[in-house]
Amino acid sequence: MTTKNIHEANLAEVRELSATQAEFVIKPLYPGYGNTLGNSLRRVLLSSVKGAAITAFSIEGTTHEYTAIPGIREDVVDIMLNLKNIRFKMHTDNPVELSLEIKGDKQSEKDGDKRVVAGDIKLPSEVEIANPNQVICHIDDPKYVLKMHFVVESGRGYLTIENASEGRLHSDMIAVDAVFTPVLRVRYKVENTRVGQDTNLQQLTLTVDTDGTITPREAFEEAAAILVNQYKALAGKTSVESTPAPGTNSDDDDSGLMLPIEELELSARTANALINNDIKTIRDLVTLSETDLKDLKGFGQKALDEVKEKLTELNI
């Protein structure tokens, strides 16, 4: 069965604010769709994007987490909490065993306790660490040799310590409850926008922060793909044919929206300003609000008035 009553959402803009933060602008949306999409994407981003974490570890000379270690400033519980903050990127789906061996040196007697960080862990080619400066512990005895082993696994969401204990590769290791998600924070904002004469529309801006093991764009696309797969399984044989975005018309005789911007017969200054901002067709133009147009480089109030007058003449 096929119906035709909703339009396809458009990813209008991606603003990369840093290597680990980006904003995704989705518009135009029918009223209410901003919160519907924003909430569902946020929940999937925070819970279902694939990542990696330590699920078990051992320290030579200890048998359980409630132990003080002679030669180490922290106890095992403190070390466990520090291990949970190490961010891994894995190029395999299989569990990987890592090791660390480091000795407190003479420098620790002179300058204080020797700091042990994630970068001291020996890594195979299929594992990377995004935050090598993450502290694991401090050695306060220059003669002490710290030997540790870790199991790193990939997964989604959250692994409780009970489930981690049941699935341990080595029974003598201490299990860790693991947070796999590489997405640290997701915020979204819903604003009003317009397309042509239609002012009752919404714009969704989604801000995604990751831990550096995945880019915000990769996380966003994976979350969207997860939602598509889930809904596709529920839709059965019913399909929905996308209609144009609000403010546009799909009739064949309205194909004029794809005409080049020069067809509006604007002044050379206004036309050049639009073309220089990558607005090359009438459709490109009518999808922008007055605020969007005012923000264009080299596009002032006089040019805006001229465009509005031309669009009114064409009844767009």
CA dihedral 231, 232, 234, 236 (to 10 degrees): 160
Q: Shortest CA distance to 221 belongs to which of 91, 51, 49?
A: 49
Q: What is the pLDDT of residue 5?
A: 45
Is pLDDT above 70 for 126? Answer: yes
Pick the more confident residue, 160 or 254. Answer: 160
Is pLDDT above 70 for 181? Answer: yes
* Residue appearing with tokens 């990369």: 16
**Residue 303 has which token pair?**
């040019």
The confidence band for 62, taking pLDDT boundaries of 50, 70 and 90, is: confident
Q: Are the beta carbons of 248 and 196 closer than 8 angstroms? A: yes
**Residue 163 has which token pair?**
């489930």
DSSP code of residue 125: T
157 dihedral zone (left: phi>0; alpha: psi -120 to 50; beta):
left
239 dihedral zone (left: phi>0; alpha: psi -120 to 50; beta):
beta
**Which DSSP string corresponds to 87-106?**
-EEES-SS-EEEEEEEE--H
C-alpha to C-alpha distances, 91 to 84, 152, 169, 222, 261, nearest whole angstrom: 19, 12, 19, 16, 47
Pick the more confident residue, 17 or 240. Answer: 17
Q: Give the Cα separation of 87 and 176 in Å (integer).
A: 14
Q: Are the beta carbons of 111 and 59 closer than 8 angstroms? A: no
R_g of the chain computed on alpha carbons: 28
Name the percent of the chain in helix, strand, coil, to the closest 5: 30, 35, 35
Q: Give the Cα separation of 294 and 222 in Å (integer).
A: 34
| pLDDT tens-place string over residues 184-198 | 999 999 998 877 666
Q: What is the pLDDT of residue 256?
A: 55
User: Across 25-29, 97-101, 112-116, which has the greatest mean pLDDT?
Assistant: 97-101
Q: What is the pLDDT of residue 243?
A: 56
Is pLDDT above 80 for 239? Answer: no
Q: What is the pLDDT of residue 257?
A: 65
Q: What is the pLDDT of residue 252?
A: 42
- Average pLDDT over the chain, rounded to whole? 83
Q: What is the pLDDT of residue 142?
A: 85
Q: Is the peptide bond before 132 cis (omega within 30 degrees of 0)?
A: no
Is pLDDT above 90 for 54? Answer: yes
Q: Give the Cα separation of 188 and 10 in Å (integer).
A: 16
39-43, 132-136, 151-155, 166-170: range with lowest mean pLDDT: 166-170
Is pLDDT above 60 for 254? Answer: no
Q: What is the pLDDT of residue 189?
A: 93
Average pLDDT over residues 209-225: 94
| pLDDT tens-place string over residues 276-314 | 887 878 777 777 777 777 778 877 888 888 878 877 776
Which amino acid, 157? Answer: G
C-alpha to C-alpha distances, 213 to 136, 209, 251, nearest whole angstrom: 19, 11, 46
Q: What is the pLDDT of residue 109?
A: 47
Domains of the chain: 50-179 (2.170.120.12), 249-316 (1.10.150.20)
Q: Where are the beta strands (DSSP E) in the chain?
A: 2-7, 11-16, 21-29, 50-59, 88-90, 96-103, 114-117, 127-129, 135-139, 145-156, 158-159, 174-175, 178-179, 183-195, 198-210, 239-243
Cα–Cα–Cα angle for 134, 61, 170, rounded to 5 degrees: 80
Q: Give the Cα separation of 150 and 147 in Å (integer).
A: 10
